[in-house]
Amino acid sequence: MKRPGYVLIMVLLVIVVLSLAAYRFTDAMSSQFAGAYRTTEAAQARAHAVSGVHYAAAALADPATLQQTLGGNPYDNASFFSNIPVGDGATRSGGRFALINLSDNGSGTGEGKFTVKYGVTDEGGKINLNSMLRIDSSGESLRSMLILLPNMTEDVADAICDWIDDDDDEREQGAEASAYDLYSPKNGPLSTLDELLFVRGVTAEKLYGNDRNRNGRADPGESDGNDFNRGWSDFLTVYGHELNIDSTGAPRIYLNDTISADWYKALTDALGPDLADYVAAYRIYGGSSAVTPIPATALTGGAAQLNAAVVTSMLNPKAKSKIKNSAVTLYNTKVKLPKPPGSPPNTPDTYVLSPINDREAFSKYLPLLLDKTTSRSKYELNPRINIATAPQDLLMALPGLTAEDVSAAIAARANLQPGTPEYTTGAWLVTQAGQRPEVFQQLERYITGQTMTYRVHSVGYFGRGGPVARVEAVIDTNLGKPRIVYFRDLTDLGGGFNPPR
């Protein structure tokens, strides 16, 4: 019996169709597997980057690690912050992270100003917009600094101050509620720097510059006709934390505290007898400017007379005056001592000059005065600018500093020893950079040498290639109990860097 051949053909067609379906299914599963694998690796790379944030938080919040292992310098330490392994190393030779610090080297132009280092960035080395309004509620100090930043204009500086200050009074070139259609100025502290984008005249290009992927390099597509720059975000912050503690972490002696034997002893132990006696006499008898001529009939009292007067007054101490602003105000002052009981009416007045009136003595005592004493009773201070890490363009915006002063400061701070009283108070401007006492008096309310807040730029990757993730965080070390006060995923900006492998 003859059988038709079309049955064989149909069988072959079915086999072909099933084969194609199986192929498509296998291909789809392979694609799904590859996609899932890639997604998993991307998630792992991000986890590696996040690990870098927690790694930095642990290191920065531990005084022993910060001062001994890192030598007080967490800003440039490749051995501690570069190519750090994560996990057991099974996938692509293991996960890695590196902490990137784009350092402004103070020279060159454009991208030549920035050097890639492995470490963190000091958030305290920036102008804290919220804090400056608390230090000077008029906003004039903040405005005077803003106006000197690169590419800043008077109308934008005024608008920023109007946005943050707590009133509705419009500055000369500022902008209050009437200048906005859909919203009104916050009239209060900023929560993030991005809030500045609501301010009239502030654009993303001005705030963050044309370094769109935040890697310190002029990459293709970033040219906008302007010189390469990273915008005002390199100079401004809304995060900060400063405590009224000395270089050892102990609370400072409150100069305006109730006068007592214990207070006097603490001063003597910290400052030595001569300066302690003068501080006590200034509080008890009142002080005045040494610029005012001393009467020709007056005698200049010595250390023995001063000590005798203070010891006598400590039997029944009463404060006549307070030391305002800071101990620096004792510079160029004098104290009139009381006349001994039973003195004739024509007995000349006795004056004692401040031990820090001459420049050499001012340099000698300044680190001790600022480190061990304070005129502020609060434990939490308004965060000031860390003069030891502030970029050069920001230093130029500080009141009273000339270009020569800034150059001297940049040269001097390269040789500073972190953790010393000079470093943690900013007194090195006088002792090392040769700054005049009169200028330092203007600066002291705005500057410090301490920091508790750092910005971390962490890159997560694998040892033999694969996806790269980037995250950014601001860490408040908070006396050994670190907290992350800001976090942002930067992976959508691209890899940006060639990670070390």
Rounded distance, CA 479 to CA 241, Å?
10
Mean pLDDT (whole number) for 471-496? 95
* Percent of all residues in the chain with a pLDDT value above 70, rounded to a whole number: 95
DSSP β-bridge partners for residue 470: 459
Rounded distance, CA 343 to CA 379, Å?
45
Residue 79 in this model has a pLDDT that exceeds 70: yes
- Which of 2-6, 18-22, 39-43 is predicted most confidently? 39-43
More confident residue, 244 or 5: 244
Residue 500 in this model has a pLDDT that exceeds 90: no
Position 382 scores a pLDDT of 95
Residue 88 in this model has a pLDDT that exceeds 70: no
Position 245 scores a pLDDT of 95
Rounded distance, CA 195 to CA 179, Å?
16
Residue 425 in this model has a pLDDT that exceeds 60: yes
Rounded distance, CA 281 to CA 258, Å?
14
Residue found by looking up tokens 């270009």 in the block: 403
Position 326 scores a pLDDT of 85
Eight-state DSSP code of residue 418? T
Average pLDDT score, the chain: 89
- Which of 100-109, 164-173, 302-311, 351-360 is predicted most confidently? 164-173
Confidence of residue 300 (pLDDT cuts 50, 70, 90): low
* Percent of all residues in the chain with a pLDDT value above 90, rounded to a whole number: 64
Rounded distance, CA 471 to CA 485, Å?
14
Q: 92-113, pLDDT tens digit by residue?
A: 568 999 999 998 877 777 778 8
Position 4 scores a pLDDT of 64
Residue found by looking up tokens 């995060």 in the block: 239
Let me know: does 330 contact 287? Beta carbons within 8 Å.
Answer: yes
Lowest mean pLDDT among 255-259, 306-310, 328-332, 467-471: 306-310
Nearest to 72 by CA among 431, 419, 495: 419
Confidence of residue 3 (pLDDT cuts 50, 70, 90): low
Helix (H, G, I), strand (E, B) or coil at 192: coil
More confident residue, 265 or 19: 265
Mean pLDDT (whole number) for 450-472? 94
Mean pLDDT (whole number) for 117-126? 96
Q: 181-192, pLDDT tens digit by residue?
A: 988 999 999 999
Confidence of residue 23 (pLDDT cuts 50, 70, 90): confident
Residue 430 in this model has a pLDDT that exceeds 90: yes
More confident residue, 291 or 365: 365
Position 93 scores a pLDDT of 67
Eight-state DSSP code of residue 145? H
Position 204 scores a pLDDT of 92
Confidence of residue 351 (pLDDT cuts 50, 70, 90): confident
Helix (H, G, I), strand (E, B) or coil at 88: coil
Write out the two tokens for 368: 């001790």
Nearest to 117 by CA among 70, 157, 154: 70
Position 150 scores a pLDDT of 92
Write out the two tokens for 8: 């064989």
Rounded distance, CA 43 to CA 40, Å?
5
Residue type, 334: K
Q: 201-242, pLDDT tens digit by residue?
A: 999 999 999 988 888 888 888 877 778 889 999 999 999 999
Eight-state DSSP code of residue 486? E
Position 92 scores a pLDDT of 59
**Computed over its alpha carbons, how large is the radius of gyration of the chain?**
31
Write out the two tokens for 177: 């509620």
Position 226 scores a pLDDT of 79
Position 203 scores a pLDDT of 95
Residue 431 in this model has a pLDDT that exceeds 90: yes
Position 217 scores a pLDDT of 87
Nearest to 376 by CA among 240, 242, 244, 241: 244
Confidence of residue 406 (pLDDT cuts 50, 70, 90): very high
Position 87 scores a pLDDT of 75
Residue 267 in this model has a pLDDT that exceeds 80: yes
Residue 336 in this model has a pLDDT that exceeds 70: yes
Question: What is the 3-class SS of 257-311, one letter each residue?
Answer: CCCCHHHHHHHHHHHCHHHHHHHHHHHHHCEEECCCCCCCCCEECCHHHHHHHHH
Residue 2 in this model has a pLDDT that exceeds 80: no
Position 91 scores a pLDDT of 56
Rounded distance, CA 471 to CA 80, Å?
18
Mean pLDDT (whole number) for 134-138? 93
